[in-house]
């Protein structure tokens, strides 16, 4: 695989320095804020647009569906473009979508803005991780991906409180304008990144990666290990209801997000040192134990907060290893593969919410948690049977060394 940029190893390491990583992280933070802020503003949006709360909630669903479908498709169609053009263009489309939402006086206009925002986010997000992974080199890939992902994980901590605060103080449209402002900053600074072009591959070759067995295997394990976390997150107020309600629920969300930030940062170094599979196994095993402890732990405030915090740490270890594995599974078309992984994230959220709701409606909270534990165990087993812990790391080093 040949990445067309000025490069020997030293050049490449310097080209993805802290400043440029921060540029990409600002973009992922902006996109993350959009998702988490909206969750805290749904009542205000519903009232202002004259629709039901359920209809307002569909704005999140619209975004998720468009992103999930668009991410790999956009990556495939723009495979020959300089990544800076895709990144800047994606953020500009996202910006237009945010302005449309801020100005929209009717539900249809706001929904259209969500569609545009999702298309822009799909173009930016997968390419941000792909550019970081390409420029970093094999020995720093985990830390680099974690640095870019920090934007998303930090947004989980501040997104909901920020949305509630802004919504109550200035209204939900002010939050949209603030996010639009962040999008402007990102779009302006993206050209400061070094030029990156992917190997010349045909559109057919880029599309074929969507059915490549190695890619599908990573997607399967990713969905299975991520699903339980979304079951918990979707119904966290119900799960914690015996001990935590009201303001304490916001505190619980912040604590969980803080744990996820810590887990994300630890994961980068561990992936570089040990390879992605051992880290993924530890994260899945730890998440399984934490989910099981939610059953007794949810009965008191302190035990519930402790379990949620540790669950956040282990949850923060689950995404970066799968990204690193995608670079090995599809080194020739990493943006398409990473785009598929991003789609799997949104698919996991949708499936997790549906499964959690079905379990909750059937036999209640305990069954919902048991379903989460069971899925986590299945995900752990899938990762275990996909070969030795050493294989991903060895193949990754061989592939990435071939790029220089």
What is the spatial distance between Cα 108 and Cα 106, in angstroms, rounded to a whole number? 6
Can you say whether residue 51 is alpha, beta or left, with left for phi > 0 and alpha for psi between -120 and 50 degrees?
A: beta
CA atoms within 13 A on the CB side of 158: 14
Tell me the pLDDT tens digit for each residue of 20-36: 788 888 899 999 888 77
> What's the distance, CA 103 to chain centroid?
27
pLDDT score recorded for residue 8: 43
* Residue spans of alpha helices (H) in 50-171: 53-77, 83-103, 107-136, 141-169
Q: What pLDDT score does 201 carry?
A: 63
pLDDT (tens digit, 9 = 90+) per residue, 279-331? 999 999 999 999 999 999 888 889 999 999 999 999 989 988 988 888 888 87
The CB-side HSE value for 193 (13 A sphere, CA atoms) comes to 31
Asked if 295 and 366 count as a contact pair (C-beta separation under 8 A), the reply is yes
Q: What is the pLDDT of residue 338?
A: 82
Query: What is the C-alpha separation between 291 and 373, in angstroms, rounded?
Result: 6
For residue 7, the model assigns a pLDDT of: 42
- Do 75 and 336 touch, CB atoms closer than 8 A? yes
Please list the pLDDT of the chain residue by residue as tens digits (404 residues): 344 444 444 444 444 567 778 888 889 999 988 877 777 787 888 889 999 877 888 888 888 889 888 888 888 888 778 888 899 999 999 999 999 999 998 999 999 999 999 999 999 988 888 888 877 767 778 888 888 888 888 887 887 677 767 877 888 999 999 999 999 999 998 888 777 776 666 667 777 777 788 888 888 888 888 888 888 877 777 888 878 877 788 788 889 889 988 998 899 889 988 888 899 999 999 999 999 999 998 888 899 999 999 999 999 899 889 888 888 888 777 778 888 888 888 788 778 877 887 887 777 888 889 988 999 999 888 888 865 444 554 444 444 444 43
Distances 224 to 42, 296, 371 between C-alpha atoms, Å: 29, 24, 12
Write out the two tokens for 214: 């190695």
Note the pLDDT of residue 97. 96
C-alpha distances in Å from residue 202, one per residue of 86, 87, 165, 195: 18, 21, 48, 20
Q: How many CB atoms lie within 10 A of CB 364?
A: 11
The confidence score (pLDDT) of residue 302 equals 92
pTM, full prediction: 0.78
**What pLDDT sits at residue 327?**
82
pLDDT tens digits, 247-278? 788 788 889 889 988 998 899 889 988 888 89
Give, for 368, the enclosing helix (H) or strand (E): helix 365-384
* Full set of structural domains in the chain with CATH: 1-200 (1.20.1250.20), 202-404 (1.20.1250.20)
What pLDDT score does 313 carry? 94
Which pLDDT score, from 0 to 100, does residue 94 have? 97
């Amino acid at each position: 695989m040949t990445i067309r940029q000025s490069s020997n190893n030293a050049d490449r390491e310097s080209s993805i320095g802290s400043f440029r990583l921060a540029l990409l992280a600002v973009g992922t933070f902006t996109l993350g804020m959009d998702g988490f802020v909206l969750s805290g503003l749904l009542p205000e949006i519903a009232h202002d647009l004259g629709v039901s709360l359920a209809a307002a909630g569909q704005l999140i669903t619209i975004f998720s569906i468009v992103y999930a479908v668009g991410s790999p498709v956009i990556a495939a169609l723009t495979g020959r473009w300089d990544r800076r053009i895709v990144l800047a263009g994606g953020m500009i489309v996202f910006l237009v979508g945010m302005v449309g939402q801020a100005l929209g006086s009717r539900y249809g206009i706001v929904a259209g803005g969500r569609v545009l925002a999702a298309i822009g986010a799909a173009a930016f997000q997968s390419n941000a991780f792909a550019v970081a992974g390409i420029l970093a080199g094999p020995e720093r890939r985990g830390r680099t991906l974690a640095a870019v992902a920090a934007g998303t994980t930090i947004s989980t901590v501040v997104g909901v409180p920020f949305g509630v605060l802004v919504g109550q103080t200035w209204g939900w449209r002010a939050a949209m304008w603030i996010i639009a402002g962040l999008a402007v900053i990102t779009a302006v600074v993206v050209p400061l990144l070094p030029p990156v072009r992917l190997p010349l591959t045909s559109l057919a070759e880029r599309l074929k990666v969507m059915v490549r067995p190695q890619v599908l295997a990573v997607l399967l394990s990713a969905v299975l290990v991520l699903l339980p976390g979304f079951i918990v997150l979707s119904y966290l107020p119900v799960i914690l209801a015996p001990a935590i309600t009201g303001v304490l629920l916001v505190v619980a969300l912040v604590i969980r997000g803080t744990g996820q930030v810590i887990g994300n940062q630890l994961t980068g170094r561990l992936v570089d040192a040990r390879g992605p599979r051992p880290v993924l196994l530890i994260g899945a095993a730890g998440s399984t134990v934490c989910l099981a402890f939610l059953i007794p732990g949810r009965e008191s405030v302190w035990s519930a907060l402790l379990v949620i915090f540790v669950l956040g740490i282990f949850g923060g270890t689950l995404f970066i290893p799968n990204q690193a594995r995608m670079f090995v599974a599809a080194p020739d078309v990493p943006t398409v593969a990473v785009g598929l992984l991003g789609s799997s994230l949104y698919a996991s959220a949708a499936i997790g919410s549906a499964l959690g709701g079905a379990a909750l409606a059937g036999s209640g909270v305990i069954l919902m948690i048991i379903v989460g534990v069971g899925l986590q165990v299945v995900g752990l087993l899938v990762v275990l049977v996909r070969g030795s812990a050493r294989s991903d790391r060895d193949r990754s080093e061989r592939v990435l060394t071939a790029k220089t």
